[in-house]
A and B are shown apart, each in its own frame.
Chain A
Amino acid sequence: MSNALTPLGKELRKLRIDALERIADLARALRCTASFISAVELGKRSPPEDFLQGIVHHYNLDAAAEARLRNLAALSTTAVRIDLTEGTSDRSRELAVAFARAFPTIDSEKAAKLLETLTWPNNQKGQKR
C-alpha cells in the first residue's frame, strides 16, 4: 500500500495551506473527521459527492477550480461501483461484468478506442455523473 498523497490529496492540501487551515479546521467546517479527510488525501477512501461539494463551497472555488478538483477526484478514485439493481437489462449486466473481467487486459490503445466509442455519441447531452 502506498503512503503517498494522491493528486487530489495534494490539491486539497494546497487549498488548505493557502487558506492557513489545518486538517482539524477543515474537518470542523465540513462536519467530518480528520481521519476521513486524511483517508481521502491518501486515496484510501474515494471522496463522496457531498464532500467535494463541501470543498467547493468552503473554498468558494470558481468553475475552473471546481472542474480541476473534480478531474483530480476522478483520477484519484480507487474503485468504481456500477449499480446493477434497478432497470438493468441482462445485456447491460453482461457488459458490466465482461468489462470488469477484461479490464486488467485493456492496454492504453484499446482504452482510447473504447473511450471514443463511449463518449462521442452523448457529447451534447453532457456526461452524467
Chain B
Amino acid sequence: MTGFRRRVPGRRRADISTHANLLRNHFSLIAGDSPDAFPVVEYVEFVLPQVMDDFVLEIVDDHEMPGMEGATWPDKLHMKLPRSVYERAAANDGRARFTVSHELGHLLLHQGVPFFRETHQSQTIAPYECSEWQANEFAASLLMPEEVVKACGSVRDIMERCGVSQTAAVNRLKVLKMVKPRGW
C-alpha cells in the first residue's frame, strides 16, 4: 500500500527492471507495436483482467481516500484509485501515470510477500528492502526504460516520449547516472 514504508524482501534494481521489461514486452506481444509511452491504464484495464481473472480495479470518489493517491492489496489483487487520479492517468497526465505504475509495481512485486513487522518504527530500512522504493523503481523503469531514455535528447524529450512528469524524468536521469549535458 502506498503511504507507509514497509520492509519487504530485498530486490535489486536490475531484478525490478527485468520485471518491468517483461511486462512491456508482454503488452507489445498482445497489442503489436507499443509506443514509447507505455499505456499503463490500458494495461491495467485490458491485460491484467485476462491474466488475473480476480483482479479488481476500484475507482472511488476522492473523499473516500483522503490524502491518498492510490492503494493496492497485492494478495487480494485489488487496486484502488481516487477518481481524480484515475481520470488524470486516463488523460495521460505524467504524474498520475506514475502513480498507477507504482501501484502496479506493488501488485506484481509484493504478492505473497511477508510485510515484516517492525518492532521500532525504524529508519533503518535499506532502500532495496523498502516497499515504496521498489514500487517507485518499478514505475520508473516501466515508463522510462533505459534504452528509451538514452535515445532522448532532453528532459522535455523524456517527458514527451515517456509520458512522465519533469520530476520523474530528472530523477530517472540521476538514477541511470546519465549526466545532463549542458543546455538540457
Q: Which of A17-25, A60-68, A95-103, A121-129 contacts B (4 or more CB under 8 A)?
A: A17-25
Most buried by A among B42, B73, B87: B87
> How many residues of A are in contact with the other chain, CB < 8 A?
17
Question: Is the C-beta of B161 less than 8 angstroms from some C-beta in chain A?
Answer: no
- Number of residue pairs across A and B with beta carbons under 8 Å? 49
Residues of B near A42 (CB, < 8 A) are 56, 58
What does DSSP make chain A's interface, helix, strand, loop or mixed?
helix
Question: Is the C-beta of B90 less than 8 angstroms from some C-beta in chain A?
Answer: yes
Residues of B near A33 (CB, < 8 A) are 61, 83
The distance from the CB of A107 to the nearest CB of chain B, in whole angstroms, is 30
Residues of A near B91 (CB, < 8 A) are 24
Which residues of chain B have a CB within 8 Å of any CB of chain A?
41-42, 45-46, 49-50, 54, 56-61, 73, 76, 78, 83, 86-87, 90-91
Which residues of chain A have a CB within 8 Å of any CB of chain B?
3-5, 13, 16-17, 20, 22-24, 33-35, 37-39, 42
User: Given contacts A3-B78, A17-B46, A17-B49, is CB(A34)–CB(B86) below 8 Å?
Assistant: yes
